[in-house]
Homo-oligomer: A and B are copies of this chain.
Amino acid sequence: MLTLRQMRYFEALASARHFGKAAELVHVSQPALSAQIMEMENHLGVKLVERSRSGVFLTRKGEEVLARTRTILADVDMLEQSARASSGTLEGRIRIGVIPTLAPYLVPRLVPHLRRVYPAIEIELKESVTSRLVADLGEGLLDAVVAALPIETDGLSTKPLFSDRFYMAMADDERNILMSPLTEDQVDVEQLLLLEEGHCLRDQALAVCSTAGKRRLVSFGATSMTTLLQMVANGMGMTLIPEIAIATEAARNSIRIVPFAAPEPAREIGLVWRRSSPRERDMEALATAISDCADDIIRAAAA
């Protein structure tokens, strides 16, 4: 089996053209170097060097092998260097999954922010429901997931990022005469519009309004918050909207946002990653960035 050691010694020998000198170059005794060269020659079945009194010459094959050896050794050097170049925080590719009820509001702020703070970052995004994202995380297809907690943590680490309060969104007309702040039992489940199955926000909405019977539930299976709020604006019902979505969606649709009475219901957004991942520092940095962005977005909505 050919070894790098053999190549290193051979390189030295080719440079020194002298077994003893070459052995010094690689900090080894002359017999050790001789043995490795012989081993290499035997393995390749070729004479690499010509030993003569007037010095050591490479054979034709030796010259050819030397050329290849040099590029290989150089490549190995490159490998060591590039591997050791400890990539700092958030350098290189990071694959982030974000749930659909968060992504459209968070990502447009988060990505530019990350790019600004960590110029060497390469962001890959995936938007899907929590279960899909967690599966991808488990398979190594994602590095981090931003989703609503709690998440059954199966070899995963979690860090809470921010709290995202729920509001009720309804058509901005006179039909909806509700107290503000709203209490949960005022919600008419028949009027509640929900996202399609799989979205955590759907489950959360149901949890908030759980006091009423679930029988008369009408699901239009909306695929996005935006769709849902268009339905709301058209008077088809009302829906729960997370605070982070308000600024964007209120600007698009003519809706009224009604707060809940304390204790205000909310979802906890958190960052999730494989516990076995060596990127603790990246996760820390990412968590901070997301929290900051979310705060900005929510503060902007309040203003």
Contacts and interface: CB of A to CB of B under 8 A. Distances in A.
Interface of A: 1-5, 43-47, 50-55, 57, 59-61, 64-65, 68-69, 71-72, 75-76, 78-80, 82-84, 86-87, 92-93, 138-140, 155, 274-279
Task: For the complex of A and B, list the 5 residue pairs with the smallest distance between their C-beta atoms, beginning with the closest.
Answer: A57-B140, A52-B276, A47-B278, A44-B83, A68-B79
Nearest to A282: B60
Contacts of A46: 83-84, 86
Contacts of A2: 4, 76, 79-80
B139 A59 contact: no
A72 to B, nearest CB: 5
A84 B235 CA distance: 81
Contact of A55 (B60, B72, B140): B140
A217 B87 CA distance: 82
Majority-rule SS of A interface residues: mixed
Given A43-B80, A59-B278, 7 more contacts: A2-B79, A45-B83, A50-B276, A52-B138, A52-B276, A59-B277, A60-B92
A274 B79 contact: no
Nearest to A63: B93
Contacts of A61: 83, 87
Nearest to A278: B47
Contacts of A4: 1-4
Contacts of A155: 52-54
Contacts of A59: 277-279
Contact of A83 (B65, B275, B277, B279): B65
Nearest to A51: B276
A216 to B, nearest CB: 41
A283 to B, nearest CB: 13
Pick the most buried of A51, A57, A69, A93: most chain B CB atoms within 10 A of its CB: A57
Contact of A68 (B44, B78, B93): B78
15 contacts: A3-B5, A43-B80, A44-B83, A44-B84, A46-B83, A46-B84, A52-B155, A55-B139, A55-B140, A59-B277, A59-B279, A65-B79, A65-B82, A65-B83, A68-B78
Contacts of A82: 64-65, 68
Nearest to A82: B64
A75 B75 CA distance: 10
Contacts of A139: 54-55
Contacts of A3: 3-5
